[in-house]
Structure 1
Amino acid sequence: MSSKIVFITSYPPRECGIATYSRDLIEALRTYIRVPFDPLVCALESEGRQYCYDTEVGYTLCAASFEDYHRMAGEINADREVRGVFIQHEFGLFGGEYGDHLLLLLYHLDKPAIVTFHTVLPSPDYQLLKTVRAISEAVDKIVVMTNHAADLLVTHYRIRREKIAVIPHGIHQVPKETSKQLLRRRYGLPVDSRILATFGLLSRGKSIETALQALPSVIDRFPDTLYLVIGETHPEIVKREGEAYRNLLNYMVDELGLGSHVCFIDRYMPTRDLLEYLALSDMYLFTSKDPNQAVSGTFAYALSCGCPVVSTPIPHAKEVLTEDLGILVGFEQPGQFAAAIMELLAAPERLRLMGNRALQVMASSTWSEVAKAHYQLFCEMNMFPFDTTASRLPSKTGKLVRQVDAKQSRIRAAIG
């Protein structure tokens, strides 16, 4: 009998950060751990959207359908080969207020469960507090990616610290061929220019306009500056408003006279190409306008490629970005961005040292190390090593599993 862990998450070809994260984590577990492990993905889908998945996707769940969560719990419980469930949580991925439809699945689930909170919001209102606490009570372990997020769960949500594991966002190792000049020639970019970069699925929350407003001052002093904006518009944004945000950015480029200094690369880029674009850049600009954005994969990937960062102070950046890695500036403050960019461009040796330091600091966050940390957590939860001779899988203990009727009432109360 083979043994499986069910990953409940969005998954490629769906284009979102958590889908990419989950694919990379599963691949890392396969590549670096080398244990008898069959990942079985339960892919989250929005209403009316279906995708053609690879073979590891064994289930799909319509996130907006309350009844689908009960059905999925039953299917997972019925599969004796499933040793546990691992959930990637973001509030917008699951149906209901604050994604509380997930509680229906958790309260009926008779397997060990772990949840990764990709977002932890400070100062929760009553409904958010109740939902997050209910999820935390229904799982065996919680994973977050920063110490700041762990502290919020303890102080704002009253969750026991020993139930929380901090495992950083995984990063890919820098490409072996890292000569900036060679990479720039490969992608048809000017070899001697000063290249700034931003990447990710575009939305208004990215605040790319802040970087555009900073550029005129930078270009006055460094006329050879080129700013790369890499990535297509987020598919959910396209559904709601088409390309209105990208059109706004193009309009700003024209109004500010930046036509020869800004290059939009409007496509969803393979990981290898993306890493090479970061490796050929002199600096990464992280302009998010969300002060509660707990973690950023784009921020981590930039540092992993030896790219110094000028960033707004999201919790992830405040925790990681020391003065030998980059500069923190205020939210939606183009003047501060311009000053920080010029400060670093005027000091090429400082930029070089920052890049080298970034490679050293991020070495502990490679996907191989992140996979090992998850493997250890799975072992603690008796998901690994697998005991295929067991006549039945261990159930959770406590009221959350034994008293299904009571839990059903609590779920509906939580949803309000």
Structure 2
Amino acid sequence: MITVGFITRYPPTHCGIAEYSKFLISALRSLNPKMEVKVFTTRESRIDRYFDEIGVKVIPCFSRFEKDYSELVDAVNEEKVDILHVQHEYGIFGYGSEIIDALTEMKEERIAEVCVLTTHTVDHPYTTRPEVFEFQNSLNQLDAVVVHSDLQEFELITQGVDATKICQIPHGTLINPYLGYTKHFLAKSLGLDEEFCGITLAVPGFMRRDKGVDILLEALNHLKELKFTVMLAGEPQDEVVRELVENFESKTVLLERYLSSDEILRVVALADAIVLPYKDRKGAYAVSGILHLSMGGLKPILGSRTPRLVELCQHAPWMTLPPNNALELARKIEWLVNNYEFTVSYMSELYAYAARTQWISVAHELYELYKKLMRKKIVL
């Protein structure tokens, strides 16, 4: 039986990659209960080893932006795994190739048979951080590189990564378990008074400038006669955005705190539609986890045409608009509110995509990749 070691941030650390890893590992264990999964994680939340509530052994053994992964190597050697799988984000591992050097060392010393890395962000030549190319140029040293979108795959191939090593597996989607609950129950469970007027539009996730909150607030100024409520739900990570939100009172409900994935699911279930007015992150290709949590709510989603929302552009193009365009966003919101039932039916292709990318399906694709890579090692 395969033993897999994930190198990643992990709950209770507040991080999208941490939540992603928990969903993926839970799905892998549901798919194959005999699979043993161990998590090698940062020391940000705990320093002691422990088993989490789904029975996964968690070993804190490195720091964020680590330069020396010797303690990680020792921990993996002690725990014995067949496959190592890194959930990579530059905000966790930094811009250099130290983590790949550590993986290469463990392969050479036969501490692990197979090394896989998921690149959650791929930078292209217009990036503001050219030092990341040291990392991206070293990806050929691995057995497989997992990406989430066509944009990421083609960019890595252009940069010289072996196409046969790249495996595109979509980000997972959870069909929202709260869809049958009443708005009253959901609002109360989130600590909100039931003060919703008309259609409820939710903006879930961390509140930062790149999430386009300022553009949304500007758009709302054009819609003062329209009957709707906007729910801003998430932890502010930018003082400018915090001040904008707190000083804006018209038609908004605020939930200003860190929200777990379960709470975001309740926010999505409470809403009638989701608005994601993201701005483009210059030089970077990624996929939005919030988009997938929103897709699982089977509600209309309105978003900007940015790389992070490429799946929305592909499956519901009419529900997208150029970034940084408050007037166009206002027009789209007005159309959505006045044509809600039609919008719900228009989103059917995106709902089908949500069903196809459920976590259990994504876990199956990844498990098949693991088996393929292990068979190759046995043949060699």
Q: Is this a same-fold pair by TM over 0.5?
A: yes
Query: Identity across aligned pairs (percent)?
Result: 24
| CA distance in structure 2 between the aligned counterparts of 1:284 and 1:195, rounded to whole angstroms | 9
Q: Which residue is equivalent to 1:341?
A: 333
1:328-361 CA-partner distances (Å, limit 9, x unpaired) = 2122211111111112212122122135443222
What code does the residue aligned with 1:37 have?
M
| CA distance in structure 2 between the aligned counterparts of 1:166 and 1:177, rounded to whole angstroms | 30
Q: Which residue is equivalent to 1:120?
A: 122
Q: Is the 8 A contact 2:96 2:131 kept in 1?
A: no
Structure number with bigger Rg: 1
Instruction: Point out where structure 2 has 5 or more consecutive residues left out of the alignment.
Output: 52-56
- Mapping 1:3-42, distance limit 5 Å: 4-31=3-30, 33-42=31-40
Q: Which residue is equivalent to 2:168?
A: 166
Distance of aligned partners of 1:348 and 1:263 in 2 relative to their CA distance in 1, 3 Å threshold: same
Q: Which residue is equivalent to 1:108?
A: 105
| CA distance in structure 1 between the aligned counterparts of 2:84 and 2:156, rounded to whole angstroms | 21
| CA distance in structure 1 between the aligned counterparts of 2:258 and 2:375, rounded to whole angstroms | 34
Q: Is the 8 A contact 1:308 1:326 kept in 2?
A: no
| CA distance in structure 2 between the aligned counterparts of 1:9 and 1:139, rounded to whole angstroms | 17
1:186-220 CA-partner distances (Å, limit 9, x unpaired) = 56435662111111122222221111111122232
CA displacement at 1:176 relative to structure 2: 5.8
Q: Which residue is equivalent to 1:391?
A: none
Q: Which residue is equivalent to 1:290?
A: 280
Corresponding residue SS for 1:131: helix
- Mapping 1:208-219, distance limit 5 Å: 208-219=213-224
Ranked by relative contact order (alpha carbons within 8 Å, sequence separation 6 or more), the top structure is 1
| CA distance in structure 1 between the aligned counterparts of 2:375 and 2:224, rounded to whole angstroms | 55
Corresponding residue SS for 2:236: coil
1:302 equivalent in alignment to 2:294: yes
1:382 equivalent in alignment to 2:374: yes
1:300-354 CA-partner distances (Å, limit 9, x unpaired) = 2212211222212122423443474752212221111111111221212212213
CA displacement at 1:233 relative to structure 2: 2.8
Q: Is the 8 A contact 2:178 2:266 kept in 1?
A: no
- Mapping 1:242-391, distance limit 5 Å: 243=239, 245-251=241-247, 253=248, 259-291=249-281, 292-322=284-314, 324=316, 327-382=319-374
1:241-263 CA-partner distances (Å, limit 9, x unpaired) = xx553123212x0xxxxx25111
CA displacement at 1:120 relative to structure 2: 0.8
| CA distance in structure 2 between the aligned counterparts of 1:269 and 1:200, rounded to whole angstroms | 8
TM-score normalised per structure 2: 0.86
Distance of aligned partners of 1:71 and 1:52 in 2 relative to their CA distance in 1, 3 Å threshold: closer
CA displacement at 1:396 relative to structure 2: 12
Instruction: Point out where structure 1 has 5 or more consecutive residues left out of the alignment.
Output: 238-242, 254-258, 385-393, 398-416
Q: Which residue is equivalent to 2:135?
A: 131
CA displacement at 1:294 relative to structure 2: 1.4
Corresponding residue SS for 1:168: coil
Distance of aligned partners of 1:34 and 1:103 in 2 relative to their CA distance in 1, 3 Å threshold: closer
What code does the residue aligned with 1:115 have?
L
Paired residue for 2:41, among 40, 43, 61?
43
Distance of aligned partners of 1:88 and 1:34 in 2 relative to their CA distance in 1, 3 Å threshold: same
What code does the residue aligned with 1:226 have?
T
Q: Is the 8 A contact 1:199 1:229 kept in 2?
A: yes
Distance of aligned partners of 1:129 and 1:181 in 2 relative to their CA distance in 1, 3 Å threshold: closer
CA displacement at 1:101 relative to structure 2: 2.4
What code does the residue aligned with 2:361 have?
E
Paired residue for 1:152, among 145, 150, 155?
155
Corresponding residue SS for 1:93: helix
CA displacement at 1:181 relative to structure 2: 5.0
What code does the residue aligned with 1:66 have?
K
Stretch deviating more after TM superposition (136-145 or 270-279) = 270-279
CA displacement at 1:113 relative to structure 2: 0.6
| CA distance in structure 2 between the aligned counterparts of 1:53 and 1:297, rounded to whole angstroms | 28
Paired residue for 2:144, among 136, 141, 144?
141
CA displacement at 1:71 relative to structure 2: 3.2
Distance of aligned partners of 1:196 and 1:383 in 2 relative to their CA distance in 1, 3 Å threshold: farther
Stretch deviating more after TM superposition (169-178 or 209-218) = 169-178
| CA distance in structure 1 between the aligned counterparts of 2:39 and 2:250, rounded to whole angstroms | 44
1:52-108 CA-partner distances (Å, limit 9, x unpaired) = 7751212421134422x13322432354x311100001112114xx14321331231
Q: Which residue is equivalent to 1:89?
A: 88
Distance of aligned partners of 1:131 and 1:325 in 2 relative to their CA distance in 1, 3 Å threshold: closer
Distance of aligned partners of 1:272 and 1:326 in 2 relative to their CA distance in 1, 3 Å threshold: farther
